[in-house]
Homo-oligomer: A and B are copies of this chain.
Amino acid sequence: MEIICLQENLKKGINIISNIIGKNLTLPILNNILLTVEKKRLRLISTDLEIAITHWTSGKVKKEGEITIPAKLLSEFINNLPNKKIEIKTKDNSLQIKCENFKSIIKGIDSKEFPIIPEIKGESIIKIKAPELRQAFSQVVNFTSLSDIRPEISGVLINFNSKEIKFVATDSFRLGEKILFLKGNRSRVKKSVIIPLRTVQELIRILGEQDKEEVVEILIEQNQILFKTLDSRLISRLIEGTYPNYEQLISKQFETNLILDKNEFLNTVKISSLFSSKINDLRLKVVPKKSLVEVFAQDAEIGENISELKGEIKGKEIEIIFNHKYLLDGLNNISSNKVILGLNGEASPGILKPVGDLSFIYVIMPIKL
């Protein structure tokens, strides 16, 4: 193979695909990028056998062909080169690279050893703008279970129907649901899939590097999903299993209903959490007739803190205990100034949601004493 490309194009492509490549000692070929010169473009592929990422970049093709090259070295080398023309050429199992006053030879591995990347010809589910998809994933990804004990919650659920797409993640202690309401481009199919956490993290990263106007097409085939933009593709396996029937947790009616200033609430939780013990964590005492929440934290060894929060509070008086970290995670994913906290007694899940935005709901289980 032989091609001339611009450093910035090659750099962008390598950065998009190479993050999933780690240090694989048992299968060294997975540490490499597959470079293929075909027709008028250079194709770059990486895979960890669960996810495969492909990116095409333009260049002046002199000769078709392919080779695999260690990703880490190639990426550091190309990133540091000046933004000029780069001449790339294979010789035996090496890649010769010339750029301005630099001449390098990098040893590679024959492309025949590279795993076969599946083709997805499955049904096209929907097209979404890249920033919207990225934001939806970002808002729930951190609630995913990090353990593999229950594989079905170790990923993000995507539920497509004709009016909306729901993104859901939970670790069984708290749950986040983000809804993308569809206007023009309705989804063609009803479908639910569970996407592995790493795939979601990778998508968030890659979509952040795309143009604002970039559109992502999603295709599904059996146990695989494909995210497709103009120049890039990400294929991932799906998680098999049945996602928990979470909708019953999301009450619409509350015995106690609070509207609080988001930043005040966030700051109070932060400060109180410094004093929280593992057993007792944060105790919220809600007093509707005083329009007041007392947040109380105490640890026998370090001390205690009481903070008062004013708000618009209706319904029953209640004392309830929450884990401070889960409260913080929920509040940090809400961008409105005011937040609604809905409670139904000390043993039922609390609901946290932004005021004036129906697209996000956060469910948090209380700690029962």
Residues from chain B with a CB closer than 8 A to the CB of A82 are 267
Assess the B267–A104 pair: CB atoms within 8 A. Answer: no
Say whether A303 faces chain B, with CB atoms less than 8 Å apart. yes
Q: B305, A104: Cβ atoms under 8 Å?
A: yes
Most chain B beta-carbon contacts within 10 A, residue among A81, A104, A107, A267:
A104
Nearest B residue (CB) for A77? B274
Q: How far is the CA of A76 from the CA of B303 in the complex (A)?
A: 14
Inter-chain CA distance A276–B105, complex, in Å, is 13
Q: A270: which B residues are within 8 A, CB to CB?
A: 80
CA distance A82 to B214 in the complex (A): 42
Contact A102 B303 (CB under 8 A): no
Q: Is A148 among interface residues, defined by CB-CB distance under 8 A? A: no
A231–B307 alpha-carbon span in the complex (Å): 33
The answer to whether A80 and B267 have CB atoms under 8 Å apart is: yes
Interface size on A, residues (CB 8 A): 30
Please tell me if A309 contacts chain B, counting CB pairs below 8 Å.
Answer: yes
Looking at the assembled complex, report how far the CB atom of A342 sits from the nearest CB atom of chain B, in whole angstroms. 23
Cβ–Cβ contact B102 & A302, under 8 A = no
Kindly identify which residue among B73, B304, B306 contacts A274, using a CB–CB cutoff of 8 Å: B73
Which residues on the B side are within 8 Å of A275 (C-beta)? 104
Q: How far is the CA of A106 from the CA of B303 in the complex (A)?
A: 4
**What 0/1 readout, one digit per residue, does chain A (93-112) give for beta carbons within 8 Å of chain B?**
01000000111111100000
| A256-289 interface (Cβ within 8 A of B) | 267-268, 270-271, 274-275
Does any Cβ of B come within 8 Å of A65's Cβ?
no
List the B side residues contacting A268 at CB < 8 Å: 101-102
Work out how many copies of this chain go into the complex. Answer: 2
Q: Mark A66-101, 1 if CB is under 8 A from B, else 0.
A: 000010010011001110000000000010000001
- Residues of chain B with a CB closer than 8 A to A106's CB: 302-303
Instruction: Tell me which of A80, A271, A305 has the highest count of chain B C-beta atoms within 10 A of its own C-beta.
Output: A271
A105 to B305, CA, bound (A): 6
Given contacts A267-B80, A302-B107, contact A307 B94 (CB under 8 A): no
> A319 near B: Cβ within 8 Å?
no
**Could you tell me if B309 and A101 are in contact, using CB atoms closer than 8 angstroms?**
yes
A270→B307 CA distance, assembly (Å): 53
Q: A73-B274, A80-B270, A274-B76 are in contact. Are A102 and B305 (CB under 8 A)?
A: yes
**What residues on B are CB-neighbors of A105 within 8 Å?**
303-305
Task: Say yes or no: is A301 at the interface (Cβ < 8 Å to chain B).
Answer: yes
A123 at the interface (CB under 8 A from B): no
Shortest CB–CB separation between residue A298 and chain B, in angstroms?
9
Q: Which residue of B lies closest to A74 (CB)?
A: B274
Q: What CA separation (Å) do A105 and B302 show in the bound complex?
A: 8
State whether the Cβ of A240 lies closer than 8 Å to any Cβ in chain B.
Answer: no
Tell me which residues across on chain B come within 8 A of A305, comparing CB atoms.
Answer: 77, 102-105
The digit string for A107-133, where 1 denotes a CB below 8 A from any CB of B, is 100000000000000000000000000
Q: How far is the CA of A82 from the CA of B264 in the complex (A)?
A: 10
**Can you list 8 A-B contacts with CB-CB less than 8 angstroms, sorted by A residue number?**
A70-B302, A73-B303, A77-B274, A94-B303, A102-B306, A103-B305, A104-B305, A107-B302
Chain A positions near chain B (C-beta within 8 angstroms): 70, 73, 76-77, 80-82, 94, 101-107, 267-268, 270-271, 274-275, 301-309
